[in-house]
């Protein structure tokens, strides 16, 4: 129960407009601001469908980012093949799949892009649509959103 309320808080923190999946109280991210700790096990990796599931989710996510009016402009000059590989590595590493993330830190990768809160919300909405397309269970979706919450300030450069 405590675990569920933590996820709900992180989810609400990530999605400034309120968490559409599981509304919750205002969070205190305090300790959660550091990079995501290595997971104790591979449960989330397996819930995502392993490498194949993460690849399919990432494909849906990239498609949604490209289709969205707000987000697509940010990626106009991005090497999408590299970006696609890096988001898979990141999700695999943080879900317990044993991968190594080889990209930039979130602060460095997003510095100078002028990302604002509404842009962050648009990315989170794209991710949520992608997870719906992959028919991931709500608990798995919340766990993925919880992984992203501690990165929010770095991405926004706060
Ligand atoms: C918690 C949320 C986010 C996560 C976990 C995330 C994750 C990533 C990762 C792993 C990369 C690759 C890093 C690298 O190039 O070495 C990346 C790059 C990028 N992200 Fe994000 N991102 C997030 C939010 C956003 C938002 C809100 C935007 C803008 C709407 C955005 C736009 C970009 C762009 C344009 C790049 C490519 C930069 C380039 O071409 O070098 N990201 N992101």
CATH of the domain at 128: 1.10.490.10
Residue 2 makes CB contacts below 8 A (sequence gap 6+) with: none
| This prediction's pTM | 0.84
Overall domain count for the chain: 1
Cβ(80)–Cβ(115) below 8 Å: no
Structure tokens at 18: 């309120």
Secondary structure of residue 78 in the 3-state scheme: coil
If you measure from the C-alpha of residue 61 to the centroid of ligand 1, how many angstroms do you get, rounded to a whole number? 12
**Structure confidence at residue 14 (pLDDT):** 45
State both tokens at 133.
């397309």
Quote the domain boundaries for residue 133: 2-156
Residue 136 has what pLDDT?
Answer: 98
pLDDT by 10s per residue, the chain, length 158: 333 343 344 434 444 433 333 333 333 333 333 456 678 899 999 999 999 999 999 999 999 999 999 999 999 999 999 999 999 999 999 999 999 999 999 999 999 999 999 999 999 999 999 999 999 999 999 999 999 999 999 999 99
Phi, psi of 145 (to 5 degrees): -60, -35
The predicted structure's pLDDT at residue 36: 61
Vertex 94 angle, CA 41 and 150, to 5°: 120
Cα of 107 from ligand 1 centre, angstroms: 9
What is the CA(87)–ligand 1 centre distance, in A? Answer: 8
Which pLDDT value is given to residue 40? 81
Question: Is 56 near ligand 1, meaning CB less than 6 Å away?
Answer: no
């Amino acid at each position: 129960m405590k675990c569920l309320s933590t996820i709900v808080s992180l989810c609400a923190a990530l999605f400034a407009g309120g968490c559409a999946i599981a509304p919750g109280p205002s969070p205190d991210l305090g300790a959660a601001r550091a990079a995501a700790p290595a997971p104790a096990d591979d449960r989330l990796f397996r819930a995502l469908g392993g490498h194949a599931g993460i690849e399919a989710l990432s494909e849906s996510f990239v498609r949604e980012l490209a289709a969205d009016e707000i987000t697509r402009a940010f990626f106009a000059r991005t090497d999408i093949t590299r970006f696609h590989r890096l988001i898979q590595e990141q999700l695999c590493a943080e879900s317990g799949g044993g991968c190594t993330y080889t990209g930039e830190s979130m602060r460095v990768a997003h510095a100078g892009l002028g990302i604002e809160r509404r842009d962050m919300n648009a990315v989170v909405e794209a991710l949520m649509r992608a997870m719906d397309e992959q028919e991931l269970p709500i608990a798995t979706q919340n766990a993925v959103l919880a992984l992203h919450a501690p990165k929010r300030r770095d991405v926004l450069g706060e």
